[in-house]
Amino acid sequence: MNRPKIGLALGSGGARGFAHIGVIKVLEEANIPIDCIAGSSMGALVGAFYGVGYSPEQMEKMALHFQRKYYLDFTVPKMGFITGDKVKQLIKILTKNKKIEQLRPNLTIVATDLLKGEKVVFKEGDISTAVRASISIPGIFVPAKIGDRLLVDGAVVDRVPISEVKKMDADIVIAVDVSYFEVEPEINSIFDVIMQSMDIMEREMIRFREIESDIMIKPMINQYSSTAFKNIDTIIQHGEDAAKAKLAEIQQLLQKWKEK
């Protein structure tokens, strides 16, 4: 390969994660190849859809038709409000029942072992099973049971999985952070409590991870919460804007690599 291997680290963030679609769209338009992706939570979902073959435009159309009632299945709170069965079925259908190892770009999906407190990495196997685990926000989704493991959201241990992209031998790592932190948010429900708690926990983690990537793209989406599904089109546009602002820097890195 006479060019660098380029990898994306797509972070978690609920509805804010749709900004990843805008980032991918801009990279494609600039003819910047994407060779591998590692994703946590919504980053894993977008990475899976892209790896199956959906274009950014197709993913945007799917996102704009998105409604929570189509995939959320509420249950009596025991370990979570949402069992996750419907979302898993929907992912299986939309990813054409493919395996992770069949995806191009190559994809790594990150989840968290709730019992051991360890990162769990999926590089092969059923896409819907891995993504269902990766998006399982503690307290909202019932943990995904795989074998003797209880798995929850990848963001608990690795919100923007830069280290996993490096393990995929990427020469240039582009990270996309769609995290959110509001100092005095409105807390109106248990969902708000859980999401704000996770954002507080992860805020400091991201600061240390930022220096590990070659490029860090941070869409200006602080005004949107993790449940802002009515603002998907605007969130995607913010992803595009943030990626365009980093294009010159990315192209400079590519040129430097070629001159080595």
Instruction: Give the CATH architecture of domain 6-259.
Output: 3-Layer(aba) Sandwich (3.40)
pLDDT tens digits along 192-240: 666 666 666 666 566 655 668 999 999 999 888 777 788 999 999 999 9
For range 133-149, the mean pLDDT: 89
Terminal CA-CA length for the chain = 14
Tens of pLDDT, residues 97-133: 999 999 999 999 999 999 999 999 999 999 999 999 9
Q: Which of 41, 134, 179, 225 is catalytic?
A: 41
pTM: 0.89
Least Cα distance to 45 among 113, 103, 115, 6 occurs for 103
Residue 46 pLDDT grade (very low, low, confident, very high; cuts 50, 70, 90)? very high
Give the pLDDT band (50/70/90) at residue 64: confident
Active site residue 134: no
* 233 given a catalytic annotation: no
How crowded is residue 191: how many other Cβ atoms within 10 Å of its Cβ? Answer: 17
pLDDT score of 196: 64
The one catalytic residue in 153, 158, 177, 199 is: 153
Mean pLDDT of the chain: 87
Scored b (16 or more CB within 10 A) or e, 192-217 reads eebbbebbeebeeebeebeeebbbbb
pLDDT of residue 100: 99
- The answer to whether 66 and 232 have CB atoms below 8 angstroms apart is yes
Task: Write the pLDDT tens digit of every residue in 11-31.
Answer: 998 889 999 999 999 999 999
C-alpha distances out from residue 158 to 27, 147, 154, Å: 24, 22, 6
Q: Where are the domains of the chain?
A: 6-259
Contact 125, 100 (CB under 8 A): yes
Contacts of 184 (CB under 8 A, 6+ apart): none
